[in-house]
Amino acid sequence: MLACDSIGGIGPKPADSVSVDARTVAHFGVRVPLLEVLCSGARPIALVNALCVERDPTGQEMIDEIEILAAQAGIPADAVTGSTEENAPTSATGLGITVIGALSQDLPKAQPGDVVICAGLPIAAPDFSLYIGHPDQVTVTEVRRILASGLVHDALPAGSHGVGFETDEMARIAGLQARWTGGRIVDPKRSAGPASCVLFACAPEAVDEVVHLLDDGRPVHPVALLTPPA
């Protein structure tokens, strides 16, 4: 299983279009492919970072954050590798991330009657200020904990298409249909940016157990019921 993401023009360099510190850029660049691999049911086994910046100081700040998230996903330190730009000065920030996962079983699928719960909330710039540790953003550690519990049948990180789109995708993959129950609490069309929230499909009786695996105070809401097609 492979997942990748890239970022350009966002960072601490003078020619960047959006000014953000190097650690934050790396955090949001790496969490998306990590969550994609984890939610596919695969075990992340390696991470490759291609940093289009010098090693010191910008690159090292990014590498430090990448290694933190890789460890949270269960990737050993010796399976994190990459490169920096040492041949020419850089005036703008760029990075590419590739995560490799090992899948030992079929891709997960939701089951008829499952409840879809949204852990975290859909938040994205420029409407929201994104930062590491945002209380509305579910973490890699939480997602891994929930997936390891065996309580969920499928999981999907939400992105720029929004929670509604990803819920319908989860249902389509399983040959089901989604009946939205989230009301106005979770906007189904709002962008979730860099996977600020993750959808989990589980049996109704497992919902409370899944919720208790999240950190205290993390927003979590049931948003849909999955049923056989009419």
pLDDT at 105: 82
| CA–CA distance, 61 with 138 (Å, rounded to integer) | 22
For 150-183, write each residue's pLDDT tens digit: 999 999 999 999 999 999 999 999 999 999 997 7
Type of residue found at 181: T
pLDDT at 184 over 80: no
Cα–Cα distance measured from residue 100 to residue 120, given in angstroms and rounded to the nearest whole number: 25
Same domain, yes or no: 167 and 204: yes
Average pLDDT of span 121-133: 91
Structure tokens at 171: 């249902």
pLDDT at residue 127 in the model: 86
Number of domain units in the chain:
2
Domain end position, chosen among 102, 135, 165: 102
For residues 176 and 98, state if they share a domain: no
CA distance 77 to 100: 14
Q: Report DSSP letters for 154-178, one per residue.
A: EEEE--TT-HHHHHHHHHHHTT-EE
Domain range for 51: 2-102
Residue 132: phi, psi to the nearest 5? Answer: -65, 130
- Which residues are within 8 A (CB) of 47 and not within 5 positions of it... i.e. 6 or more apart? 30, 34, 66, 70, 75, 79, 80, 81, 97, 98, 99, 100
Q: What is the pLDDT of residue 192?
A: 95
Pairing relationship of beta strands 80-83 and 43-51 according to DSSP bridges = parallel
Residue 107: is its pLDDT beyond 90? Answer: no
Average of per-residue pLDDT across 215-221: 96
Helix (H, G, I), strand (E, B) or coil at 32: helix
Answer yes or no: is 188 within a domain. Answer: yes
Paired residues of 217 in beta bridges = none
| 179 belongs to a structural domain | yes
